[in-house]
Structure 1
Amino acid sequence: MLEHALLFDAQGQPLLSGKLNASREWAEVNAFCNRVYMPLATKPLVQGADPNATLRTLSIGRIVLSRFCFGVPTKADEFDPSSGNIIVVNTMRGSVCHPLMGGATIDTQPGDSYVVDCSRTDYWNVANGDDLQFNLTIPHRLMEETAQRWYGFVPEDDLWKKRLVFGRGHSAWLSLLDYATRSVDARSDGVASPLMEKRIEETLCLELLRGWAECSGLNLETGARGAAPRYVREAERLMEERAHEAPSITEIAVQLGISARSLSEGFRRFRGITPHDYLTARRLEGLRKALEDAPPGETVSSIASTRGYVNLTAMTASYRQRFGESPYQTLRNRLARA
């Protein structure tokens, strides 16, 4: 599985032709690592050895996929936490040694998948030189957004600090990665359509989150929902009900009889986001439904204005980031189906 990842697309056409795909220069290899993963340090374990590296990469949404190896035994460490990135290492060939919890280590074998949040914990690995990795670089923020959207809260560091193997052998995760890489069309220069990218990005994050949480003993279905105080849950209910009115956070807080500061603190502690972020998401979801249900003759401007949107440029940018298409495209697709 993944034998052809980042080599060929679904039509069997070669990907990434004309790009740097291999190198025997440490300067090029280190520049690749710093750009694709994050700033880090590398050290060949055979003195004076030159790399024989595979360097293939492309992006799907905000996720960077890479087919990579040093080609010589190498230790990588000092991964920069300020990058804010999560790394998923899928071993395709050979073995790679990684740290686990409590000072333990593991050598991942072909078919094993390992995850570490470098923004929350330290990381290093040792590749044996015969390895080949298929890696994902995912912004921590993107995983938080996914958790909030699907489960209603953002897990705390008891999840993000767990370094672990979450898949072995021919796992469903690897099948998903195989599908994702085959969905890229070489005819469009290795870029999927924006809507396809958004869907694949969401699915990859959700499946990673599910596997990571399951192996960490965290139940995302219950999570922190029940632990949140009543005023947080009531605020969520009010914001869902009144999203079309574009209420302010202060108005919501007054209706609950608390201060805006207390409401913000409650969301930060129990949801990992601000109440403004929560309200923004509910408003965009309501706008999307209104566009999808719009009768003939309605325009994006008319629908958005009735839902309290004044700055259409800012709204369009937020909408595109969340749904992978513009409001106009949503409305056009609705009218095309009518």
Structure 2
Amino acid sequence: MGTYSTTRFTDWHEVHEAVAAAYFPHEMRPLTTGAASRSALKTATIGSCRITSMRLGAEVSVATDHPGAYGVNIPVSGRFESVVGKTAVLSLPGQATICPPDTRTVIPHWSPSCRLIGFKVEKSYLQHEMDRVLGRPGKLPMQIDLRSGRGASWLKFVHTVFHQVADDAGLWRDSLVLTQLAGTLTTAFVLAATPDEEDSHRGARPRIVKRVIDAIHADPARAWTPGEMAELAGVSVRRLQQGFRECMNQTPFEYLFEVRLERAHAELVSAGPPATVADIAFRCGITHTGRFAAAYRDRYGSTPSETLKR
């Protein structure tokens, strides 16, 4: 995993090179006399995904083919006009333009008032995740709504992951965590960008749920992603989630957390020095220690450290 960030530029050549390295190769042409030094860029790489925050110091035009990857352009402020192939798309804050790979996209007027968050995901990785999540060939729209529902949830998650990975050198630099984050980011994007599908496999739900439950109990510490669970079950992520809600009255990840909690409790009861709560939690697949401590106390009436000392 790597991060690249800069807030100081001396000329437009530096701006061009920084944006190309952080997001996509492109052609950039300043249209006004604004200062390159007012441009700012910050990026975080998460597995096969990359999130980049960009603001430019002058109005520019940009053209790119988005080679080998999808680009999801999310204006945080201002207007963002694009011509994707032959289709004009205007996105305002709360919307996003989806630019397909290897397709000419022209941004005729990118103004200094428009700060952009770019989400880049490799073509093969996204297509593989779409196959696993949807259980069928999928097609992405050119624009998605991020103001409510799944779209708003995904955008909030993008902001959270971006700031954590770019600014925190701790757990968020671990390759195992980053791989899981990339899968979750991409799965959430697919669910936000594609319409609900009709469920035609109701009779298969008990079988698919049991298959995932058995796998969770066999390896609860595995860095599970929604796509991996769905692939194991042989259905889409939506179908698996629906099956768990009908049969278990909870999501697959809520069930996974309960199994991890029970496994951690058993280890805490039987462990002794020099074992630590953090070591046991991590060994059981739990990385959010605050949530773990609160859930553990609710379930068992004591803290993890109190159980370990007994």
Q: Aligning the two structures, in what range does the TM-score lie when normalised by the shorter sequence? A: 0.5 to 0.7
* Distance in structure 2 (CA, Å) of the matches to 1:96 and 1:212: 19
- Asked if residue 124 in structure 1 is aligned to residue 109 in structure 2, the reply is no
- 1:146 is matched with which residue: 105, 125, 129? 129
Q: Hey, what does 1:333 align to over in structure 2? A: 283
CA distance in 2 between partners of 1:172 and 1:220 (Å): 19
- Three-state SS of the structure 2 residue aligned to 1:90 is strand
> Alignment partner of 1:93: what SS?
coil
Instruction: State how many pairs are aligned.
Output: 215
Instruction: Note if 1:36 corresponds to 2:22.
Output: yes
- Partners of 1:42 and 1:143 lie apart in 2 by 27
Q: CA deviation at 1:187?
A: 4.9
Residues 84-126 of structure 1: CA distance to partner in whole angstroms, max 9, x if unpaired? 11111111122211236863331x223322221133x321223
Q: Is 1:164 aligned to residue 143 of structure 2? A: yes
Runs (5+) with no aligned partner, structure 2: 202-207, 222-281, 287-310
Structure 1 residue runs of 5 or longer lacking an equivalent are: 1-15, 227-239, 241-284, 295-331
Task: Tell me which of 115, 120, 124 is aligned to 2:98.
Answer: 115
Give the 5 Å matches for 1:30-179: 30-46=16-32, 48-51=33-36, 52-77=38-63, 79-81=64-66, 83-99=67-83, 103-106=87-90, 108-119=91-102, 121-125=103-107, 126-155=109-138, 159-160=139-140, 162-168=141-147, 171-179=152-160
Over the matched positions of the two proteins, sequence identity in percent amounts to 15
The two structures, once aligned, show a CA RMSD in angstroms of 3.9
Q: Determine which of 281, 292, 310 is the counterpart of 2:219.
A: 292
Deviations 1:12-71 (A, max 9, x none): xxxx7x95333242121111222222221011112x544221111111222111110222
Per the alignment, in what secondary structure is the counterpart of residue 105 of structure 2? coil
The within-5 A match list for 1:257-276 is none
Tell whether the 8 Å contact from 1:185 to 1:192 is kept in structure 2 after alignment.
no
Which one of 180, 188, 194 corresponds to residue 175 of structure 2?
194
User: Structure 2: how far apart are the matches of 1:166 and 1:293?
Assistant: 35
TM-score, normalised with respect to structure 2: 0.57
* 1:85–1:138 CA contact under 8 A, matched in 2: yes
- Assess, with a 3 A threshold, how the Cα gap between structure 1 residues 190 and 132 changes in structure 2: closer, same or farther: farther
CA contact (8 A) 1:113 1:168 kept: no
The alpha-carbon distance between structure 1 residues 45 and 165, as it changes in their structure 2 partners (threshold 3 A), is farther
- Cα 1:93–1:174 change in 2 (3 A) is same
Give the conservation status (yes or no) of the 8 Å contact 2:43–2:166.
no
What is the distance in 2 between the residues matched to 1:140 and 1:335?
A: 29
What amino acid is the match of 1:80? D
Query: 2:164, 2:172 within 8 Å by CA — same for their partners in 1?
Result: no
Letter in 2 for 1:90: I
